[in-house]
Structure 1
Amino acid sequence: DQLHVHDCATRPAVTVAADATVAHVRQWLESDARGTRHQAFPVLDRQERLVGVVTGREIREAPSTARRILDLVRREAIVIGEDNSLREAADVMAREDIGRLPVVAKGKPGILVGIITRSDLVGAHTRRLAEYRRTRLRPRR
């Protein structure tokens, strides 16, 4: 029985707007409001489409020439579909050396539905092992 990304992804993901000013988002990060402790944030355009990912570090250390969050996006986001397996998500994270993946809707690659992290993958594996032990492995008498 295989688990899929939609089984474990965090929904909704904490996002930032592509046209938000770096100064405004930096101020939000410093506020310690809910969601500000995440290490990275999907960036959405005005049509709510995923345009990239920025890290908190990139926002905090942004050069003065960066006016908008979109200026900090260096490449297209590496994503995973909600129907992909957790194994596929782990493979992408390992191959790309990243700790989180934006999760996109089935058949709609620009539509963000959540985010999945390495911690989510480990948590899912831990729960499956515990369930296996509980139901399959019985103590000897």
Structure 2
Amino acid sequence: MKVSEIMTKATVTDAAQDTLAEAAARMWNAQTGSLLVMEGEHLLGIVTERDVLRAIAHGMDPNQVPLKDLMRTDVITVGPQTTLKEAAKLMATKWIRHLPVVEGSRVVGILSQRDLTGVLAEALHEPEALHQLVEASDLIRERRLKRIEAGDLD
């Protein structure tokens, strides 16, 4: 199964100067856990619900902090033809929950762990798909255990 088969439309903003509060509201309204920060067609960065929570936990004022000061600019992406197994492995090894889907230089969607969970639920009746998802799940668990053993919990 390919990423393009389950990816969702990405929630985006063209305003890197938007505040965290504005980003949180946009994510809430779109019922998504991430926001892609764009400049025209160019992907500048990503902000996730965890980034917003981390900023607030560190005492930042969400009404004052612009996205450009918090967004992650080292965005890892996948193509629409990437397999779900490859995408899940990438998420597990890089400790990320959202993968922008890029075709050429254009963002065409986003894949989240929630999307993968939905496929898992549907795959309970499809043995081959279930097998692939179990393999990906085992890999994620193995990576998490190694990370815990290494003391890298953030």
TM-score above 0.5, yes or no: yes
2:125 aligned with 1:127: no
Alpha-carbon separation, structure 2, partners of 1:102 and 1:124: 18
Contact 2:2 2:81 in 1 (8 A): yes
> Which residue number corresponds to residue 82 of structure 1?
80
Q: How does 1:1-141 map to 2 (within 5 A)?
A: 3-10=1-8, 12-22=9-19, 26-27=21-22, 29-30=24-25, 34-35=29-30, 37-45=31-39, 47-59=40-52, 61=55, 63=60, 68-105=66-103, 108=104, 110-132=105-127
CA displacement at 1:16 relative to structure 2: 2.2
Q: Is the 8 A contact 1:43 1:50 kept in 2?
A: yes
Q: Distance in 1 between matches of 2:26 and 2:116?
A: 29
Q: 1:80-118: CA deviations, max 9, x gaps? A: 11110000000000001111211111xx1x311111111
Gaps of 5+ in 1: 134-141
The secondary structure found in structure 2 opposite 1:50 is strand
Amino acid aligned to 1:75: T
| Higher helix fraction (1 or 2) | 2
Between the aligned partners of 1:4 and 1:87, the Cα distance in structure 2 is 9
SS at match of 1:70: helix
Relative to structure 1, is the Cα distance of residues 32 and 123 closer, same or farther in structure 2, using a 3 angstrom cutoff?
Answer: closer
Which amino acid is 1:90 matched to?
Answer: A
Structure 1 residues 44, 72: closer, same or farther in 2, change over 3 A?
A: same
In the superposition, the TM-score normalised over structure 1's length comes to 0.70
Structure of greater Rg: 1
Q: Describe the shift of the 1:68–1:31 C-alpha distance in structure 2 as closer, same or farther (beyond 3 A).
A: closer
Maintained 8 Å contact 1:44/1:52: yes
- The normalised TM-score by structure 2 is 0.65
Structure 2 residue runs without a partner (length 5+): 129-154
> What's the CA shift for 1:32?
8.1
Give the residue type in structure 2 aligned to 1:14: T
Tell me the number of residue pairs that the alignment of Structure 1 and Structure 2 aligns. Answer: 122
Which letter does structure 2 place at the counterpart of 1:42? L
